[in-house]
Homo-oligomer: A and B are copies of this chain.
Amino acid sequence: MLNERNVRLGQVRSAIRELFEYGKKRKAEIGEENVYDFSLGNPSVPAPEEVKRALIDIIENSDPVALHGYTSAQGDYGVRDSIAKGLNARYSLSLDADCLYMTCGAAASVCISLNALINNGDEVITFAPFFPEYRVFAENAGGKLVALPCGEDFKPNVSALKGALNGRTKAVIINSPNNPSGVVYGEGVLREIANTLNEYCAASGGEIYLISDEPYRELTYAGESPSAMSFYARTLMCYSYSKSLSLPGERIGYIAVNPAMENREKVYAAVCGAGRALGYVCAPSLFQKLVARVGDMTADFSVYERNRDMLYEGLKNLGFEVIKPEGAFYLFVKSPEPSAEKFALRAREQEILIVPSDSFGVERYARISYCVSTQTIERSMPAFARLAESYKLR
């Protein structure tokens, strides 16, 4: 018998992947321009020109043995040092190189953090709507994911958090700007979460960690997204340059362990050990050196903002109920009928591909990934109009 859980994970595609594969087939049948594919969260803008120039410069002018050699398992010291300094300046933190652990992207960051913390049977809390792979990662680490219902406006439901904390709770994962809702958790809600955890830990003597998954951190439309580490000592910040630099395939990110936590060295050791046990040796060396040079830049996000405005206004005018995205490149639209699945299928009749919200732990919504060309948004509007009409929305 093979490991049947992993067989299933390999056989059953996620709802998102399933839809993406359908889209590929459909595009081959009726032409790419006739399918409005909003299924995947794959950045559609190019990496900044500086990425190209820096990569070529590094490759042309470095000693290849040093450039392509192993870095230490936690990442090149100079790279970690420069990232720590950048974060300190931005969020008033006190990180140093030894708080940083370079990873192969955000999925690796979250996975390694969970494996560092979890013992068999521990619970990890998250707030709906949430990225479905959290469940896969938590269960593989021997834990159990507890998804709390939405709060108002898709913000975390902090009173539900209060009720859910118990002796088995090891960590809370938050994701802001949020995939799939596009909601940004503001300073107020982050402070509420921190207070709730601090009060519970003080009363119970427990230690609960906050895993803050922030790959969309720079992608906001109304001011900077605050970082949870500023508010809660036991925070592990999980980051990836996939979105900020439009480099999702290159797998480069990090975990930052807050030096404000009293057992910081032990937590950092657990991170290093978990990375080792999962087969991560070091993060890709060339891209470590790249982010030390241009990691504070971002790709041109103006396309995403234009897309958001066009889609939000367009759908609202057609009579759809939509959540205005404050960040990331996702828009949550309410299904006019109780079943989000049926809504997504009816959208598909108009060649619109959107993901029903059920796999994100929320009913009656669909996720529209607008990391597409603005033309695709424009051309999809008549199809959305027909969809609205089929529901007699106005």
A-side interface residues toward B, CB under 8 Å?
1-11, 42-47, 51-52, 55-56, 59-60, 63-65, 67-71, 104-105, 107-112, 115-119, 133, 136-137, 139-141, 246-251, 263, 266-274, 276-288
Contacts and interface: CB of A to CB of B under 8 A. Distances in A.
B6 A248 contact: no
Nearest to A103: B279
A96 B202 CA distance: 58
A279 B278 contact: yes
Given A9-B272, A104-B281, A112-B279, 8 more contacts: A4-B119, A44-B65, A46-B63, A52-B60, A65-B246, A71-B249, A104-B280, A140-B277
A10 B104 contact: no
Contacts of A247: 68
B246 A64 contact: yes
A285 B246 CA distance: 12
Given A64-B46, A115-B6, A249 B70 contact: yes
Contacts of A52: 59-60, 64
A14 to B, nearest CB: 9
Nearest to A76: B249
A3 B70 contact: no
A270 B2 contact: yes
A272 B3 contact: no
Contacts of A277: 5-6, 9, 136-137, 139-140
Number of copies: 2
Among A45, A263, A281, A285: residue with most chain B CB under 10 A: A281
Which of A8, A69, A247 has the most chain B CB atoms closer than 10 A to its own CB? Answer: A69
Nearest to A283: B251
A286 B108 contact: no
Contact of A117 (B3, B249, B279): B3
A348 B60 CA distance: 38
Contacts of A109: 279
Given A250-B286, A267-B2, A272-B9, A59 B56 contact: yes
21 contacts: A1-B119, A2-B117, A3-B116, A3-B118, A3-B270, A3-B274, A5-B277, A10-B273, A42-B69, A46-B65, A51-B64, A52-B59, A68-B248, A71-B249, A111-B279, A136-B276, A137-B277, A140-B277, A248-B281, A249-B284, A251-B251
A152 B69 CA distance: 35
Nearest to A271: B10
B68 A250 contact: yes
A385 B136 CA distance: 57
A56 B60 CA distance: 8
A65 to B, nearest CB: 5
Nearest to A137: B279
Highest count of chain B CB atoms <10 Å: which of A7, A11, A118, A288: A7
